[in-house]
Amino acid sequence: MSRNLVHRIGVVRDERYLEHKPGLTHPESPQRLQAVYRMLDQEFGEDLIPIEPRAATLEELELVHTPDYIERVLKTAEAPFTHLAPDTPLSAKSYQAAWLAVGGCLAGYEALRAGRGDVCFALVRPPGHHARPDGAGGFCLFNNLAVTARYAQARHGARRILIVDWDVHHGNGIQDVFYDEPGVLYFSSHQEGLYPDTGDWTETGRGPGEGYTVNVPVPVSWGDHDAVHLYREIVGSILRRYRPQLILVAAGFDAHIEDPLGRTKMTAVGFGRLAAQIMSRREAIGSPPVLLALEGGYGPRALAESVRQVLLALGEPEGHLDQEDVQTGLGADLVDRAVRIHARFGVWTEGGKTE
């Protein structure tokens, strides 16, 4: 089936990601990616550009993680089953999948820099946005996108990187790594009151990084129109004013209405429209590389359909879905609160209003 996609989309996939087996009843199961990979084969065929992952090097992992923690992850290969955190069990080959998850994101980024695509989706596991420099948690081993951002800074001199996180859980690991600096702006929309109980409105950065962390906790009634309105207003303003040289997306799909861990009301189409919000503004800021990395999403059917909708949106012409925006009361209230909190920093607001 040919989709005639306007943008060239790279996809990182590898059967070795399925070798991370945290247990039969654990929600972060290999079945998640198996469902996504089946969907890719059935729906997209040869329309996507395959990008082969590589193992991250020790030096690359140490851009974020401590040597002691990296060694702890390596040692898990010595046991058939172990835990690095109460909610984060590992099998003997989990370390390999984790190394490849980071390396898959790096390979995707390098492919974009080499002109092999306009956007890339790294369909990897284990996820990463909860991983801290010295510890695992929330099913995450290494912080895939934090390492990618540090790599872009160290290897290619990137000075302005935007990380957008639409997972239903707050990416505390990503926030902690970049909380003190303006070179990475972290935006997260996440359900209030969920694990890891971070990401309050008032967590806005520290020191030189003040104003470069933007958290929007959302209620369980959060749905597609609320999300699209919020992203159009806030992420749109961030893109115009911050003008990132690289856009990274922590693409979790556990805000889906059918997800067993989330409680919000989004649908697969809604996630596609969030991707469209980013792509519709990309050309106006110099067409920076866009790399998405899979985070949460624990219902295999809903996850596969959500990834499908995102890929379709990524391939559409600029602004294709913009005309469908509907302002909602909840969306407007969330935007207003974020503007009030961030107006004094002037990072993405001006005069107390978004552009």
Say which CATH number the domain at 275 has.
Answer: 3.40.800.20
Q: How many domains does the chain have?
A: 1
What does the chain come to in residues?
355
In the chain, how long is the greatest CA-to-CA distance? 57
Domain membership of residue 55 (yes or no) is yes
Q: Which residues make Cβ contacts (< 8 Å) with residue 347, sequence separation at least 6?
A: 182, 185, 211, 212, 238, 241, 242
Which of 36, 54, 43, 42 is closest to 105 using CA atoms? 54
d(CA 268, CA 123): 16
Query: Which pLDDT score is estimated for 352?
Result: 45
Report the candidate in 203, 205, 331, 206 with the shortest Cα–Cα distance to residue 266: 331
**Helical (H) or strand (E) element with 303:** helix 300-314
pLDDT in tens, the chain (355 residues): 567 788 899 999 999 999 999 999 999 999 999 999 999 999 998 999 999 999 999 999 999 999 999 999 999 999 999 999 999 999 999 999 999 999 999 999 999 999 999 999 999 999 999 999 999 999 999 999 999 999 999 999 999 999 999 999 999 999 999 999 999 999 999 999 999 999 999 999 999 999 999 999 999 999 999 999 999 999 999 999 999 999 999 999 999 999 999 999 999 999 999 999 999 999 999 999 999 999 999 999 999 999 999 999 999 876 555 555 678 999 999 999 999 999 999 999 975 444 4
pLDDT for the residue numbered 156: 97
Residue partners of 338: CB distance under 8 A and separation at least 6? 201, 214, 216, 234
Tokens describing residue 212: 């470069």
pLDDT value of position 322: 52
**Looking at the annotation, which residues are catalytic?**
130
Q: Are strands 88-91 and 81-85 parallel, antiparallel or unpaired?
A: antiparallel
Q: Is 348 part of a structural domain of the chain?
A: no
Residue type, 284: A
170 Cα distance to chain centroid: 11
| Domain membership flag for residue 326 | yes
Question: Would you tell me how many other CB atoms lie within 10 Å of the CB of residue 207?
Answer: 9
**347 falls within a domain:** no
Q: Which amino acid is at 257?
A: I
* Helix, coil or strand: residue 297: coil
Cα–Cα distance for residue pair 341/343, rounded to 1 Å: 6
Asked, for residue 165, whether it belongs to a domain, the answer is: yes
Residue 352 lies in a domain: no
Pairing outcome for strands 290-294 and 81-85: unpaired
Distance CA(66)–CA(199), nearest Å, equals 24
Residue 281 lies in a domain: yes
Query: From CA 137, how far away is CA 118, in angstroms rounded?
Result: 32
Place of tokens 């943008």: 7
Q: For residue 346, what are its two tokens?
A: 């002037």
At position 25, the amino acid (one-letter code) is T
Give the structural domain span for 175.
9-342
Give the pTM.
0.97
Please name the amino acid found at residue 38: R
Tell me, yes or no, whether 114 lies in a domain. Answer: yes
